[in-house]
Amino acid sequence: MSIFAHPDFDHHEQINFVSDEASGLKAIIAVHNTNLGYALGGTRFFPYANDHAALTDVLRLSRGMSYKSAMARLALGGGKSVIIGHPSTDKNPDLLRAFGRALEGMNGRYVAAEDSGTSVADMKIIHETTEHVSGYHEKIDAQGQVRSGDPSPATAYGCFVGIKAAVEHQLQRRDLNDLVVGVQGLGSVGFRLARLLHEAGARLLVTDINAAVLQQAQEELGAHVMSPDQLMRAPMDIFAPCALGGAITPETLTHLQATIVAGGANNQLDHPDTGDLLHQRGICYAPDYVINAGGIIDIYYERLGTHEPARVNAHIDGIHATLMEIFQRSAATDTANSALADTIARERLMPLGKSA
């Protein structure tokens, strides 16, 4: 198949295929849109089944980054990169340095940060061969404590803000007391989000492939552990997908009992049409690239050199107003939240003097 005919090719500005035989690096870097600024997006390290699956993922993720930055009103474009392989067995310093050299060759058009399968430590190694990487500087949090450059705390906080907006709109209440939230995936974002929900009085249902983290959630947060299939069928108020994408499909919707879908994962819908199905069923969906923008906001201020917790959190708090606008306009126009968010994002991405 021609790349230009790929169903997820969306007028991407640049797609780089990178390999380094010595280190085993095989990667794809996709720049979707730079109308608002240079492209910033994470580097995912994942054992894709084949090259086509990797290409599909990076195309969808990079477009989502463009929309995410536009909806968060950041002077950033959208890009993403994927490294093909298993992070626990295929990752090595030489591979990361080779990836850094590939970034350096793009002259700042794309800046990488951590994502699934990569870490702050990896970003520091990549930084040995390029300046075009972020998310590794130590920062001061709201309590005045030094924390790593990991943006996942900001992502989790933004998701928490977004869930409260969805509850306010859908359930007409401003608290989370005794609401049942199903958290799918307890990684760096999912566990932090679960902790925030627990502190706000929510009751948790959780699933993950990591038995140790499930036990931790059970002991620390009083969470009820379930298998992935059990979670998707359990009665709950809110379903929070925080693992990899594609959790919401026509099939899963046949037994999903939540009235709100709001979580930290990227590309939660398997297909844009699934957003229409959510709307038809009366389920309030918080578009993923809107609710999970906290991390990119955090890194944006790091890149500016003006990372102050109060300023960053104030920007992340704006996710509430953005989602409320989407929910209200959706209700007024009988348009799916996902489609409406896409329309607004594309409008914001248009160069000055042009219209969508």
pLDDT in tens, 69-117: 999 999 999 999 999 999 999 999 999 999 999 999 999 999 999 999 9
CATH of 3-136, one of 3.40.50.10860, 3.40.50.300, 3.30.200.100, 1.10.3720.10: 3.40.50.10860
The predicted pLDDT at position 1 comes to 63
Cβ 245 vs Cβ 58: under 8 Å: no
Extents of the domains making up the chain: 3-136, 152-347
Instruction: Supply the pTM of this predicted model.
Output: 0.92
Averaged pLDDT for residues 254-271:
97
By CB atoms closer than 10 A (0-12, 13-18, 19+), residue 231 is buried
Q: Mind listing the pLDDT tens digit for each residue in 53-68?
A: 999 999 999 999 999 9
Averaged pLDDT for residues 120-147:
82
* Separation between Cα atoms, residue 91 and residue 61, nearest integer Å: 21
The tokens of 7 are what? 């169903």
Checking if the pLDDT of 264 tops 80, the result is yes
Averaged pLDDT for residues 13-32:
98
At residue 70, φ and ψ (nearest 5 deg) are -65, -45
The predicted pLDDT at position 277 comes to 98
The predicted pLDDT at position 244 comes to 85
pLDDT band of residue 146 (cuts 50, 70, 90) is: low
* Separation between Cα atoms, residue 330 and residue 309, nearest integer Å: 32
The predicted pLDDT at position 154 comes to 94
Residues annotated in the binding site, as ranges?
185-190
Establish whether domains 3-136 and 152-347 are of one fold: yes
How much is the mean pLDDT over the chain? 94
The predicted pLDDT at position 142 comes to 57
- Is 164 among the catalytic positions? no
pLDDT band of residue 145 (cuts 50, 70, 90) is: low
CATH superfamily of 152-347: NAD(P)-binding Rossmann-like Domain (3.40.50.720)
Averaged pLDDT for residues 238-245:
95
The predicted pLDDT at position 308 comes to 86
Checking if the pLDDT of 140 tops 80, the result is no
Residues annotated in the binding site for NAD(+), as ranges?
185-190
Catalytic residue among 26, 68, 80, 139: 80
Averaged pLDDT for residues 29-58:
97
